[in-house]
Amino acid sequence: MKQGIFTNSRIKLLLAPGSKGYRAKRTGERKRKSVRGCIVGPDIKSLSVTVSKKGEKEIPGLTDTTVPRRLGPKRANNIRKLYGIERQEGQDQSITTALIKKNVTRRTFKSKKNPAAPERQKAPKIQRLITDIRLRRKRINKEEKVRRWRKTLEARTAYSKLIDEHVAKRKAASAQAKLERKDSKQAAETKPVETKPTPVTTTKAKK
């Protein structure tokens, strides 16, 4: 049933790209297709409707009976809201946990394979329930995170100290080498220069 077609039968319409019930294979392609109008007729087999407003009279089998809720909430906060359980902190947290476990919606059923077996109860697993085990796990995780942080901090401090010592040693070695070069240069400048004696030349007199 296509909305906007005010008839109770089928008609052929020229549909453009983007129309409901038609997917164009090319850009700008249009096609004439048969669509059903939005008015209810004798050819309609079933309708999916909801009651938006209750009238003066009851609808037999719909508004004159109350169907109990088969399944209840699973999340711990929703169970607390349903039964008005107040949230407790600290040591009283276990009381709240026990009340939530007690008030979770259970359903009774019988085994299909063994009809002679007694009735049993089934309850959903409560989601986001804060228990002592959960609190202990949370505390252990927090302690582990702090321990890793402290270990990393100590390792970083030790590494920084090692780097500082290495840099200080290199600076000291560089300063010592520079001082030795300076001393050797000064010693070379103050060393006396050895002068060789000049040879004396003698000339013989002619007779």
Question: Vertex 123, ends 120 and 62: CA angle to 5°?
Answer: 90
Intra-chain end-to-end CA distance of the chain, in Å: 157
pLDDT in tens, 137-168: 999 999 999 999 999 999 999 999 999 999 99
Q: What is the mean pLDDT of residues 3-27?
A: 92
Instruction: Indicate whether 196 pLDDT > 80.
Output: no
pLDDT in tens, 27-59: 999 999 999 999 999 889 998 888 888 888 888
DSSP 194: P
**What is the predicted pLDDT for the residue at 140?**
97
**What is the predicted pLDDT for the residue at 21?**
86
pLDDT in tens, 82-140: 999 888 776 677 888 889 999 998 888 888 888 888 999 999 999 999 888 888 999 99
Strand bridging mode 120-122 / 107-109: antiparallel
145 sits in the region (left: phi over 0; alpha: psi -120 to 50; else beta) called alpha
Closest by Cα among 135, 46, 126, 36 to 88: 135
Distances in Å between the Cα of 189 and the Cα atoms of 77, 118, 185, 186, 196 are: 92, 115, 6, 5, 19
Residue 138's identity, in one-letter code, is K
Reported confidence tier of residue 14, pLDDT bands at 50, 70, 90: very high
CA distance 22 to 168: 80
pLDDT in tens, 164-193: 999 999 999 999 998 888 888 888 877 665
